[in-house]
């Protein structure tokens, strides 16, 4: 599975072709079950083979990511109460002028987006709580791509606690210090 174009170390490459059981385990992993496997298999393997998963800080990054969910949930409830989707199914809705019906699409779509945002934030919080996508900061991990620099495994637990949250993908966390 190595690429003929890279001359550097085999960072990010799979050790071997996954078996059917490994592929099914990856596909139905609880971390991505709400959103589908939006992560690479290499990131999944790194998560399974974490040397010290308890050393990965997860509470502060989780709280930092989860804070907009109640606001989005409240906006969803408010907009779906003021502009219910069921009103579109009534005959009285089609008696309104065309501009009013077109305007009604805006708050209905807004309610849909708020519901989607809450679900996505909950899925991301599940990843953060599980320590999924946690790499040392020195490994310079890319969102959804894993580390770009090799970082040796730690010799002890309880390394650094420095956290760098990447809003475009899984978190990047210092779970151990890299030289």
Q: Of 72, 153, 77, 155, give the one whose Cα is nearest residue 119.
A: 72
> Would you call 164 helix, strand, or coil by DSSP?
strand
pLDDT band at 142 (very low <50, low <70, confident <90, very high): confident
Paired with 102 in beta bridges are none
> Looking at the predicted structure, is the pLDDT value of residue 179 above 50?
no
> What tens digit of pLDDT does each residue of 55-111 get?
788 889 899 999 999 999 999 999 999 999 999 999 999 999 999 999 999 999 999
Report phi then psi at 164, rounded to 5.
-125, 110
Give me the residue spans of the domains in the chain: 18-57+133-179, 59-130
Question: The whole model's pTM is what?
Answer: 0.70
What pLDDT, on the 0 to 100 scale, is given for residue 137? Answer: 78
Count the neighbouring beta carbons within 10 Å of the beta carbon of residue 59. Answer: 9
What pLDDT, on the 0 to 100 scale, is given for residue 63? Answer: 93
CA distance 23 to 3: 21
pLDDT band at 156 (very low <50, low <70, confident <90, very high): low
């Amino acid at each position: 599975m190595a690429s003929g174009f890279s001359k550097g170390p085999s960072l990010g490459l799979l050790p071997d072709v996954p078996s059917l059981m490994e592929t099914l385990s990856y596909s139905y992993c609880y971390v991505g079950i709400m959103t589908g496997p939006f992560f690479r298999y290499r990131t999944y393997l790194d998560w399974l083979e974490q040397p010290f998963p308890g050393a990965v800080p997860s509470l502060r990054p989780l709280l930092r990511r989860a804070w907009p969910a109640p606001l989005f949930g409240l906006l969803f409830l408010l907009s779906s109460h003021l502009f219910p989707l069921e009103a579109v199914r009534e005959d009285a809705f089609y008696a309104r002028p065309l501009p009013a019906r077109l305007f009604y699409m805006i708050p209905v779509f807004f309610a849909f987006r708020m519901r989607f945002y809450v679900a996505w934030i909950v899925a991301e919080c599940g990843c953060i709580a599980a320590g999924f996508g946690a790499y040392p900061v020195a490994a310079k991990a890319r969102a959804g791509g894993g580390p770009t620099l090799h970082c040796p495994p730690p010799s002890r637990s309880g390394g650094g606690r420095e956290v760098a949250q990447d809003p475009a993908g899984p978190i990047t966390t210092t779970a151990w210090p890299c030289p």
